[in-house]
Amino acid sequence: MPGRVTDLLVIEESFWDRSDVTKALRDRDIGRLFRLLAQYAGASQTRLAIACQTTQPKVSGYMRGTTLVEALEVFDRIANGLAMPDRARIALGLAPSAQPADTADSEEDEPSVRRRTFVGLTGSALATALLADTASGGWADAIESFATVLVSRVPDTAAAGLGDPPDVPSLAAAVARAKRDYQACRYSAAAKSLPVLISWSQAACATFDGQARRQAFTLSAEAHHVAASILLKAGDQGLGWLTADRSMQAARASEDPVTLASSARIITHALMKGKHYKAATDTASTLAASFGRDMAVHDPVSLSVYGSLLLRGATAAARHDDRRRAYELLGEAEQTARRVGGDRNLRWTAFGPTNVSLHRVNIALTLGDAGTAIDVARTVDLGKIDVTERKASFLMDTARAFLQCGRHERAYLALRAAAEMAPEEITGRPSAHRLVHDLVTTAPPSLHHQAQDFARRIGVTE
């Protein structure tokens, strides 16, 4: 089974003695070398990017042959990142390494021959990715513009210079763009577009008639949903709750049960952020049951929304330390995922069997079963997760589980992978900063410097 991004990149010593590897090195064909590492060492593009201090798109370009490595310093960086033995470095045309050989990892208790690529994880590529949004002020700054819009229930878009509300198809396309930005962890882009989008959607609800008006309410509910999600990620519970409530109000006005059940998810999330875990569990359970009764016939879309609401309830129950109810709701969500028939992103839910597994990791961790969380995480195939936000959240949960088990290097690697994949998920979220702070304060001496450097890069202060 291919290695997961949460695992150390293990390269057996015998790999470097393969004739096809030696030929790739002598030809200085890094793309071919990376393909062989994927084939024989289970190395994903993300893990290769982290190890070699570059980006996943560049690794993809090397592997596809659209980008070539020509600079000596890049060859040297790759050799160091992969911890090439001297015979491999020489075949690549580099001088033997002046660094002492790696010693065994006392935390993992693995032979030194299997310790590879951890030592090269800090570098400019990740720093560039993490600091990419610094000039624009970051996504947390962009949410400041929400407040004025939210207090105006029916804004005058013409007076505000926004023009008349767009037609329903154009409004739907704009909401979809915001949803895509959110799921791709482009929170700054989504946050900047949402104030205008919310204004348009509110004005459309006030001016359209008939079916167009009901559709406008559905789109308003979705726009407020993604806005609330961003606000809650940023730790703004006040505006987050207000926006979630607006989503629910618009959903009720849409007269669409699927929209109402979808908005119930963000209300449950807002309740959890306020630590009202029992209320969140009861809300999710009650609304899920009501939705199940309201739908005479379920289709994959309604099942996805229903299952996602069950997962919210299961998470809330775990936060309330109600193990029995958490696993009951999780089990029902698992059955629903089987009815959906696979991992899909219908109605922007990312719901399916894999998403249920991601929640199983989170719930085990919440209930204090970090070992179980790690065991479940090892069964997750990241290739089946198409939504970046879900991948990043999973990696953060995995890092937290490793940290609770005292496996600091693996926690660090999972956080680095999350930062490489979704920089704004790490730089802008208070919960991510707290996790990195915990890593720094508990890291062993062998890791402390790297952890501190990583913390500085993302703006965590001790």
- Tell me the per-residue pLDDT of 352-389, one tens digit each, with 9 for 90 and over: 999 999 999 999 999 999 999 999 999 998 888 889 99
- CB atoms near residue 72 (< 10 Å): 10
Give pLDDT, residue 437: 93
Tokens describing residue 460: 């965590």
**DSSP sequence for 272-288:** HHTT-HHHHHHHHHHHH
Q: Where are the domains of the chain?
A: 13-120, 140-255, 275-299+307-385, 387-462
Tokens describing residue 37: 């590492």
pLDDT band of 196, cuts 50, 70, 90: confident
Residue among 247, 428, 430, 424 at smallest CA distance from 348: 247
The percentage of the chain sitting over the pLDDT mark of 90, rounded to a whole number, equals 57
CB 160 within 8 A of CB 195: no
353-371 b/e (C-beta count within 10 Å ≥ 16 → b): bbbbbbbbbbbbbbbebbe
Give residue for tokens 């009901």. 214
**pLDDT tens-digit series, residues 9-32:** 778 888 998 999 999 998 889 999
Give residue for tokens 């029995």. 324
Q: How far apart are the first and last CA of the chain?
A: 39
Higher pLDDT, 181 or 125: 181
Give pLDDT, residue 346: 96
Long-range contacts at 143-148 (CB < 8 A, ≥ 24 apart): 143/191, 143/230, 143/231, 143/234, 143/236, 143/239, 145/191, 145/192, 145/195, 146/191, 146/194, 146/195, 146/198, 146/227, 146/231, 146/239, 146/243, 147/239, 148/195
**pLDDT value at 129 more than 80:** no
Work out the average pLDDT over 119-132: 39
Higher pLDDT, 391 or 123: 391
Of 74-78, 160-164, 250-254, give the range with the top mean pLDDT: 250-254
Please report, as a single letter, which amino acid is at residue 48. Answer: L
Fold observed for domain 13-120: 434 Repressor (Amino-terminal Domain) (1.10.260)
Helices (H) and strands (E) in the chain, counts: 24, 0
Query: What backbone phi and psi angles, to 5 degrees, belong to 121?
Result: -80, -25
The percentage of the chain sitting over the pLDDT mark of 70, rounded to a whole number, equals 84
**pLDDT value at 218 more than 70:** yes
CB 405 within 8 A of CB 441: no
Give residue for tokens 């996805």. 304
pLDDT band of 317, cuts 50, 70, 90: very high
Q: Measured between alpha carbons, how far is residue 208 from residues 203, 221, 294 in Å?
A: 8, 15, 27
pLDDT band of 45, cuts 50, 70, 90: confident
Higher pLDDT, 142 or 60: 60
Of 103-117, 390-404, 445-459, give the range with the top mean pLDDT: 390-404
Rg (CA), the chain: 24
CB 54 within 8 A of CB 84: no
CA 182 – CA 185 distance, rounded (Å): 5
Work out the average pLDDT over 289-295: 86
CA 243 – CA 49 distance, rounded (Å): 38
Residue among 36, 45, 46 at smallest CA distance from 14: 36
CA 426 – CA 418 distance, rounded (Å): 7
